[in-house]
Structure 1
Amino acid sequence: MINVGINGFGRIGKSILHQAFANNKIKIKSINFPGFKIDRIASYINHDSFHNNKQLNVEIKDENNIEINGHTIRLLDNRIPEKNMWKDSESEYVFETTGKFLTKFKAKEHDAEYLIMCAPSGDNTPQYLYNGNHSEYIGENIISNSSCTTNCIVPLIKILHDYYTIESCNFITVHAATASQNILDGPHLKKRNHRSAFNNIIPATTGASKSAIKILPHLKGKIYGTSVRIPTGNVSMVDMNVTLQKDESLENILDVLRNHKEIVVSDDPYLVSSDFMTTTNPTIVDSNACMNIGPNQYKFTIWYDNEWSYSAQALSMLEHMHNFNTNSILPINSYI
């Protein structure tokens, strides 16, 4: 059993909780949710605008503990991590979902045995991505699970390069709005983000290309990306153009992708973004929206639930870490 703590309980933290309760290998032991009223926790967990999950039986045991489906979870209320707060709740692995502890120095404040940042790191903390470079994990205590967009593009890029050799890759992620944006026009530190997320398509930047290169360093100088934010609540899409060294028919390439379990190729011509809500696979290639655009040049359209599939990827990486750390005969140094 993998004992887990969750720091922060927004879109990703909540998605991780629901998926963990469908996984008999994972037990959520604690949630750090500063400032939240415990009497509202059941409603918050079981009601969601996007994900129609199976209802969990949530009961309040006391001011610090809740019970979900008969399993006790400790609720913490610490904006600043306290020493031993995870160890005292027997949480061996911690998901950092707040985006406030994205360097190794900051992450060490948690004093957790293992910590997974649910965002790209702001320093040289290693980034690992399931079905990307997870097999290169060597037991580090603090890692980053990179971004939702990186988790979407890397499995496809890796396969294309392995089979056909990528000469260049550029993409734009058409990304659903997130909580970092303004609902209505108002002050914001980032350019253009002071405008309403409800009413605008907003050009933005993405760190996915830099993160992808950290995961696939042999493709440095060949991957470039940007993004736009659109007025939808969830599910995003990547429009990717690649130039391959080998010329191949698009149908043959799609057949190769169909033979890889880490990729889903959708052949339904009628699907739109909401049809991909609450999907766990981060790389869903829309075959009817792909095309050959020139010699050795191809356009791929890729769907991903930027909340649910990212959380599924984080849990897959967690399981891989635990298996490695449990079965490794090598001593694991603290905070590698």
Structure 2
Amino acid sequence: MIGVHSGEAVDVGVNGLGRIGVPFTWQAIRDEEIALKAVGNRSIQVANAAEQIAFDSVHGRLGLPVEVVGDHSLYVDGELLPLADTLTISPGLWRGFSERLVVADCTGHYTTADRAHQHTDVGGAAAVVLSSPANDESILTIVRGVNDSEDAIARALDEKVVAVSSCSTNCIAPILKLFEARSKFPLTQAHAVIVHARTNSQPHLDGSGDTTAARRSADNTVESSTGSSREVIRLLPGVVFEADCFRVPVADGSVARLSIELAERVTKQDIVALLTSDVASDEHLREVIGTEQHDMF
């Protein structure tokens, strides 16, 4: 919920009202462990922000009343939500909302240490969490089910900037970690084919330049590079891994088909048991990995 909560609620400011920023804002509004202090966007307009927060083309409606209040704030379900223009990070921008504010940066713009630290060193935020992969080896990346041990989380709490990687990496890496951690499944190499929803980096109409990437995203399947190859290897340096990616004309929903080569022969039943029984018996893993035996696609 917005505002001050009892207990150890985390003061959060969301930067970016896009594919990730809007759903995360919704989650922050409803989650009692998060105190949503502000929402920022580049060249933010209060009426546009109200529409973006109230309704999303993919995920539908927030389901709570959103009202404009003056030029720089909204009422969401009757509680005040300040807005911030983050075209540039002005001195003390985030500190004005809370001295212990954590910025959830969902813009994909602040992916290097120098850029991300603008939120802390200039804006006065206590810390930054990047919703995208970091383009900087010095930024700590944490992926649930892979490197989120108590020691890793303790280290993350000491860092001012942390990244949570990409959707494809969060899909693939926990499965590879599951195999890597068990001697019964000696992992030799792995390959993924990722079928990914179209993104804002693709054009709405055919353009010039690369003969495939320049094609209209609503009508074409486009082979694309994927940062998950680099990210998975960085998280699991002992794993030989490659990935291919195709962007397809759907608004949301992506799939990774993972092929794994093992050094020893195992049965289908062994794999099923690993992904079901072993996961179910691990309180942490069952919050990360789920299985479905019905046809879904």
Matched, 1:108 2:117: yes
Q: Which residue of 2 aligns with 1:97?
A: 106
Distance 1:104 1:205, change over 3 A: same
**Mapped partners of 2:241, 2:107: distance in 1:** 28
Q: Distance in 2 between matches of 1:15 and 1:191?
A: 33
Q: What are the superposed Cα offsets for residues 168-194 of structure 1, whole Å, 9 maximum, x if unpaired?
A: 001110111011111111246x66221
- Which residue in the other structure is 1:195 paired with? 215
Structure 2 counterpart SS, 1:16: helix
In 2, Cα distance between the equivalents of 1:83 and 1:216? 38
**Equivalent in the alignment of 2:26:** 18
Which among 273, 285, 290 is matched to residue 255 of structure 1?
273
Q: Does 1:211 align with 2:231?
A: yes
- Report Cα offsets for 1:79-107 as digits up to 9, x if no partner: 11112111111161111111111111111
- TM-score w.r.t. length of structure 2: 0.85
Distance 1:265 1:108 in 2: 39
Residue 121 (str. 1) matches residue 134 (str. 2):
yes
Which stretch of structure 1 is more off in the superposition, 51-60 or 91-100? 51-60
Distance in 2 separating the partners of 1:48 and 1:104: 31
Aligned pair in 2 of structure 1 residues 8, 128: CA closer, same or farther (>3 Å)? same
Q: How does 1:150-299 map to 2 (within 5 A)?
A: 150-163=169-182, 164-187=185-208, 192-219=212-239, 222-259=240-277, 260=279, 261=286, 262-269=288-295, 271-272=296-297
Deviations 1:143-192 (A, max 9, x none): 1111110011011111111221210001110111011111111246x662
**1: distance between equivalents of 2:38 and 2:208?**
35
Q: CA deviation at 1:116?
A: 1.0
Q: Give the Cα separation in 2 of the matches to 1:39 and 1:54.
A: 16
Stretches of structure 1 that go unaligned for 5 or more consecutive residues are 273-336
Shift of 1:122: 1.2
Amino acid at match of 1:31: V
> Partners of 2:103 and 2:242 in 1: how far apart?
31
Does residue 66 (structure 1) correspond to residue 54 (structure 2)? The answer is no
* Larger RCO of the pair (alpha carbons < 8 Å, separation 6+): 1
2:3 match? none
The answer to whether the 8 Å contact 2:198/2:249 transfers is yes
Question: How much does 1:63 deviate?
Answer: 1.3
Secondary structure in 2 matching 1:75: strand
Deviation, 1:121, is: 1.1
**Does the 8 Å contact 1:254/1:265 carry over to 2?**
no
Letter in 1 for 2:134: S
Q: 1-side partners of 2:116 and 2:229: how far apart?
A: 24
Amino acid at match of 1:123: D
Aligned to 1:141: 160
